[in-house]
Amino acid sequence: MKLTIFGATGGTGEQVVRQACTGGHDVTAVVRDPTRLAFEAPSLQVLAADVMDPDAIAPALEGRDAVISAIGSREARSPTTVCTDSARSIIEAMRQNSVRRLVVVSNSGMHIDSQDGAFVRAVIKPVLGRVLRHAYADMRHMEELVQATDLDWTIVRPPRLINAPATGNYRTAINQNVPRASVITRADLAAHILHTLTDPTTVRATTSVAR
């Protein structure tokens, strides 16, 4: 597939770029500072552009099959709109180029459902919600923005991310949380993100993933 990836210099985004190139995809990585992306591959093109400007990123979406956004705030405990604003810009650029498939990374911590244990529902997630309220508010608005579109979107919701090699051993759930979810490696998250691109059950759905 021909993929455009945003957030490619972040921990998850770089894993997506690496695995996409290794998997034979044609990848365009849109970054603010190309020097921060150390990975190189014949199938990788790096474009420097401001993701908040839809006209600036539109050329990177021309003729692409899908778009992946792994953008996240680096200031999780301060007010931010980076996820919402970048998603709005990406959606506009996709419409300019008639690209329909969009996968965005959010989080499972701000969502409480019947799959969570009683202690998680009553203590863990409420505490996280207070500590990370700004980041969660931004991601919640981003999710709402994406869900309101007519695109073929998927929202991927991981728990806490860790840096470790891929295990290939993770669990997923559609439109609900994964029971006993606590962590996932960024490498396994990247593998799942790429898997969703060809999984029709994830289209216009949320998918949770955890070790």
- The tally of domains found in the chain comes to 1
What's the rounded mean pLDDT across residues 33-41? 93
Task: Please report, for the domain that includes residue 99, its CATH number.
Answer: 3.40.50.720
This prediction has a pTM of 0.95
Q: pLDDT confidence of 77, banded at 50, 70, 90?
A: confident
pLDDT of residue 166: 94
**Per-residue pLDDT reduced to its tens digit, 152-191:** 999 999 999 999 999 999 999 999 999 999 999 999 999 9
**Which residue segment(s) compose the domain that 34 sits in?**
2-210
* 61-79 residues labelled b (16+ CB within 10 A) or e (exposed): beebebbbbbbbbeeeeee
